[in-house]
Homo-oligomer: A and B are copies of this chain.
């Protein structure tokens, strides 16, 4: 199994709830975390918040380009609207690196959430197309940002579906899920099956609204 505490994980969108929540949990698990932002100052401000919450951890902020260069693995947790532009801008820095896409292309109207059509099939496949020399995976779509941020919740009690066509890369990403207490990384299929995993977030939001919950997913019989 990969020793993930030897990795540096870059987080894009670390100022948003999903990115910051995962950065917080990874830092607490002993992983070196670098938060990327449009400016190094904003990245460092977000990192300072993580350090204030998590204590003596390795978490620093850089601008996106420097964060990409510093990281072994990156998590893409930016809003869908900025997804393509960010990845295009970091193509060179991300050559050969493992990219974890957790972006959910969703729309909202009076009837609630729904999945947006994506020309490439899914956000993850868009990433694969824009980063042909990176090792693109998809994971962490269904993890509650509210639960991640609440350190009184010691065990995350949820599974993470990890998709990708590169076995070694999905194994590393699974290990990054396993590093967070209560979380379990499960291989969830090839990248061409990412659309439904991203889109299922619309269903989880509908569940959250109906049941006033922060729903996640567990896979049974494993």
Residues of A whose CB lies within 8 Å of any CB of B are: 111-115, 144, 147, 157-158, 161, 163, 186-190, 192-193, 195-200, 202-204, 206-207, 210-211, 213-222
Chain B residues contacting A161 (CB-CB under 8 Å) are 203
Number of copies: 2
In the complex, what residue of chain B is closest to A221 when comparing beta carbons?
B213
Known contacts: A189-B207, A218-B220, A220-B218. The answer to whether A197 contacts B195 by CB under 8 A is no
Contact for A115 among B196, B200, B216, CB less than 8 A = B196
Contact for A207 among B111, B192, B200, B222, CB less than 8 A = B222
Chain B residues contacting A193 (CB-CB under 8 Å) are 113-115, 199, 202-203, 206
On whether the beta carbons of A202 and B189 are closer than 8 Å, the reply is: yes
Complex Cα gap A199–B203 (Å) = 13
On whether the beta carbons of A222 and B217 are closer than 8 Å, the reply is: no
On whether the beta carbons of A220 and B216 are closer than 8 Å, the reply is: yes
Complex Cα gap A219–B218 (Å) = 6
Complex Cα gap A186–B218 (Å) = 14
